Structure 1
């Protein structure tokens, strides 16, 4: 990954911290819902999951992710969002700050 891609990746992750899982009141990055963020010549590809396959607000979160990425990227950038279930999400994927927020600190 080039220095430019690294900077863009960091910028996109910062932007995605504005996307909140409304059930948990925490951003999707610190919850560990972002599994992969690739930047390439074809655009940006993002693999993400939900805390549960039965998440009633999953579609809303996906829409928020897409609009956040569109606002942060040039208009002609292709965005591929992939909702994945493997590996299953668990609290172990959360940032230390998120685990502490929920009282699950190590």
Structure 2
């Protein structure tokens, strides 16, 4: 897959991940800033996500949902890996402007 096609596929995957809603805040994980990395190659699709805190009880549930959504849009025969990461720690500055408006939190 060419770098241009990989980039277009990564954008499509990010868009698809907007279907995954953080149940604690009711926002999709992309706008909430929980998707840290999407990397697609011919060998695999890697999606790195974070939680708002290590004590978040939703980690495994969100990982499973991310894996299912990513699998639907990933190229055929490309394994999907979803990693839960903690660095850098999540903060409200990672949220999109739209998420700040919905939650009525001050913009970064």
Aligned to 1:98: 99
Flag structure 1 segments of 5+ consecutive residues without an equivalent.
none
- For the aligned residue pairs, the C-alpha RMSD in angstroms reads 1.3
Aligned to 2:3: 2
After superposition, the C-alpha distances for 1:20-57 in whole angstroms (9 at most, x for unaligned) are: 00011000000110111111121111111011111111
User: TM-score under structure 2 normalisation?
Assistant: 0.91
Flag structure 2 segments of 5+ consecutive residues without an equivalent.
none
Aligned residue pairs: how many? 106
Aligned to 2:26: 25
User: TM-score under structure 1 normalisation?
Assistant: 0.93
Alignment of 1:19-98 (within 5 A): 19-98=20-99
SS where residue 31 of structure 1 aligns? coil
Counterparts of 2:67 and 2:27, CA distance in 1: 18
Counterparts of 1:64 and 1:7, CA distance in 2: 22
